[in-house]
Amino acid sequence: MKLKTLIAPALAGLAAALIGVSASAHHSTAMFDWGKEKKLEGTIDKFQWTQPHTFIWVKVPGKGGKEEQWGFEGMSPSWLGRHEWSSRSLQAGQKVSLDYYPLRDGRQGGFFVRVKMPDGKTLEALPGGPGRGPPPPSAASGK
């Protein structure tokens, strides 16, 4: 397993380069600073279980008491649904800590990597890291 863990991401990069597929299903990761994680704490406004990407909209207290809205794209429902997520994973009003790859242009958003729930449980959206490498053993067989 250790060997696989090392080999898979390296080959994945090569395969992606040659075959013509971006890491994400339907666009490049151009707009995100892919692999550079940042953290945000806020309140879930809406979780959209939609194609081609899920979205998490988060409310964050901004400067001067004005509420800010942040938007995070994620993998598709099919991917997340096979990796321990569901349409009910996040509810409006929940206070969460969210790790994400930020937008390069500085706008308030990015691509979500994982969400830490109020009960301390963490939902991983990219098990295996930015190269979409090996999922954890519990998810490897799907569900």
Partner 1 sequence: MKYTLVPATLVAVAVTAAMLAGCNNAANAPAPNAAAASEAAKPNPYAELNKLPDWSGVWEPARFAGRPNTPPAGAAGAAPSGPPAPPKLTPEYAAKYAAFQEKNRKTPGINFTTQVANCVPPGLPSSMNQPYPFEFLFTPGRVTILIETYSMVRRVYLDGQVKPEETDASYQGTSIGHWEGDTLVVETTNILPETSPLQGIIGHSDQFKVTERIKLEDPETLAIQTTVQDPTIFVEPYTTTSRYARHKDWHIYEYVCAQNNHDSVDEHGNAGFSLERKPGE
Q: Determine, following the binding rule CB under 8 A, whether residue 102 of this chain makes contact with partner 1.
A: no
3-class secondary-structure state, position 75 = coil
Q: Residue 3 is encoded by which pair of tokens?
A: 């060997």
When binding is defined by CB under 8 A, the residue of 47, 53, 112, 115 that contacts partner 1 is 53
Q: How far apart are CA 3 and CA 61, in angstroms?
A: 44
* Residue closer to partner 1 (CB basis): 78 or 122: 78
Q: Determine, following the binding rule CB under 8 A, whether residue 31 of this chain makes contact with partner 1.
A: yes
Tracing tokens 């999922």 back to the chain, one arrives at 135
Which one of the spans 36-44, 58-66, 86-94, 134-142 is the region binding partner 1 (CB under 8 A)?
Answer: 134-142
Query: To the nearest 10°, the Cα dihedral for 40, 43, 48, 53?
Result: 0
Which one of the spans 36-44, 58-66, 100-108, 112-120 is the region binding partner 1 (CB under 8 A)?
Answer: 100-108
Task: Identify whether the C-beta of residue 25 lies closer than 8 Å to the C-beta of residue 76.
Answer: yes
Q: Determine, following the binding rule CB under 8 A, whether residue 63 of this chain makes contact with partner 1.
A: no
Cα–Cα distance list, 21 to 13, 91, 112 (Å): 10, 33, 20
Q: What residues make contact with partner 1 under the rule CB under 8 A?
A: 4-5, 7-8, 11-12, 14-31, 34, 46, 48, 50-53, 55, 57, 71, 73, 76-79, 81-82, 103, 107-109, 128, 132-135, 140-143
